Amino acid sequence: MTDLAMLKISETNLDELATHAGAIAIFATPDGKLGLAARKLNALTKKAVARAVESTQFEKLKTGDAIALSFPAGIAAAKVIVVKLGRRPSVEDARKAGASIAKARGEADVLILGGNIGRMEDVALGTALRSYTFTPHKTGDKDTLGAIEVMVTAPSDLQAAADVAMAVAQGVVFTRDLTNEPANVLTTTEFADRLVELENLGMTVEVLEEDALEELGMGSLLCVGLGSASPSKVVVMQWNGGGDEAPFALVGKGVVFDTGGISLKPAGGMEDMTMDMGGAGVVAGVMKTLALRKARANVVGLVGLVENMPSDRATRPGDVVTSMKGDTIEVINTDAEGRLVLADVVWYAQDRFKPTGVINLATLTGAVIVALGHENAGVFSNNDDLTNGFMKAAQAEGEGAWRLPMSAAYDAKLKSRIADVKNVGGREAGSITAAQFIKRFIKDDMPWIHLDIAGVASVKAETALAPVGATGWGVMALNRFIADGYEAG
């Protein structure tokens, strides 16, 4: 797994500025004002910092952007990074500033002179997240993560917030690593094994194997993995940091590779289907963050792990399977497999844990990408209060989400001639009919959200806080959602 850049919070020490050998990051306000440490560095570099701040290049920078001075005279540092940032930045601007520092520093250790600037924990988070690279399968020189040191006026005031930020970063990195892994490495067994390791953080983890799933009647989930040599599994992660109250449930689709099954996908782009377990990856990352920061809440995370492969044993279009709920499902398209997995896992979550609410995540439909692109996840729900709470958390964390409609009128598209329901409803409103299918397995009084993250889980262009590839979208929003709505005071 990728190691997170080491973070140290320390008290401002001007005597160290001349001898730090890596990169040094300083901040200048939009009108060019420098803090005490930055002014000291300016004197050491024979006013190189002031010349940079007075330049047209700095003037054209947006808030949170940076310019770099290479090998400035008078100090040992190979680079000085000058970031345009106000004294009391927003969360978004602070994290953007951190990301700019990460991109400018390269592999070097970086000393960030924060002084008394606000939200330095978010600057550190942005630096840590944007420093991420996924290199376990490269055989040449691998990128190394240099340490991050943040010097501030009052380190004791920052330490607790920085610890929480790094817990969030570790959850995001865990999700990214899982989502980036190739399918020949991240098999269903390997995925489950990595989740079992979360027990070291105080979590309770169970792995339900195929015989247990058969006893539970999970015919919908099991039909997806019939064509694969990898066994289907459900992993249950329980974090009990609250009192005696019922937990909140997070459920993730974990298709470790999706060929489409007998309804085979086109060859072009199929290699991207290693990310089709992205929903399960987010659930895993959230659970890790909650455990690391010792969240005062009860949360259960459940993931259905399968591989969708064609073979002589694979489910065929036209087959009828029986879900744990008891509803029969006509499988029209074996490439609409994620909802078959979720149907059984969300029902099991409700049946066993009687949760206060359910949020499921899945890289479910291409239709949601057509509708929302790669900027927003699709949000579908039966409960306005739950949705408002999640949307507020997502907005606060800068993770794009957009609510899409649901209506019983769409259920007509899912009517089957020979079974209770069919698993697809045609091309029109594809992401909505997928949500309507899952809703069939949500009990009437259960607050529920379905997040279709097909467009945001893994991307072809870098984002504000992530390089190309897996983003870890959802970990920050769901962590805040739990903190704001379900933690004891």
312 CB-near residues (< 8 Å, 6+ apart) = none
19 phi, psi to nearest 5 deg:
-105, -10
Annotated binding-site residue? 354:
no
Q: How far is it, in rounded angstroms, from Cα 158 to Cα 277?
A: 36
Residue with tokens 């066993």: 352
| 142 has catalytic annotation | no
| 47 has catalytic annotation | no
Annotated binding-site residue? 8:
no
Q: Which two tokens stand for residue 425?
A: 């409803």
The one catalytic residue in 339, 422, 439, 480 is 339
> 188-196 and 278-292 are packed helices; what angle lies between their axes, rounded to 10 degrees?
10
Q: Give the closest residue to 399 by CA, choosing from 465, 445, 342, 468.
A: 465
CB 207: neighbour CB atoms within 10 A?
Answer: 17
Three-class DSSP category at 472:
coil
Phi-psi region of 354 (alpha: psi -120 to 50; beta: other; left: phi over 0): left
Q: Which two tokens stand for residue 274?
A: 């290693």
Q: Which two tokens stand for residue 72?
A: 């400035």
Q: How far is it, in rounded angstroms, from Cα 311 to Cα 316?
A: 10
484 phi, psi to nearest 5 deg:
-75, -35
The one catalytic residue in 194, 265, 316, 403 is 265
Annotated binding-site residue? 253:
yes
Q: How far is it, in rounded angstroms, from Cα 299 to Cα 291?
A: 10
Annotated binding-site residue? 163:
no
Q: How far is it, in rounded angstroms, from Cα 226 to Cα 305?
A: 12
Residue with tokens 């800068």: 398
Burial class of residue 13, CB neighbours in 10 A (0-12, 13-18, 19+): exposed
Annotated binding-site residue? 335:
yes
One-letter amino acid for residue 250 of the chain:
L
380 CB-near residues (< 8 Å, 6+ apart) = 403, 404, 406, 431, 432, 435, 439, 449, 450, 451, 452
Q: How far is it, in rounded angstroms, from Cα 132 to Cα 122?
A: 16
For 294-320, b where at least 16 C-beta lie within 10 A, e where not — what string? Answer: ebebbbbbbbbbbbbbbeeebbeeebb
Cα 476 from chain centroid (whole Å): 7
Q: How far is it, in rounded angstroms, from Cα 235 to Cα 212?
A: 12
Measured CA to CA in angstroms, residue 248 lies from 192, 204, 206, 403 at distances of: 21, 15, 17, 21
Q: Catalogue the active-site residues.
A: 265, 339
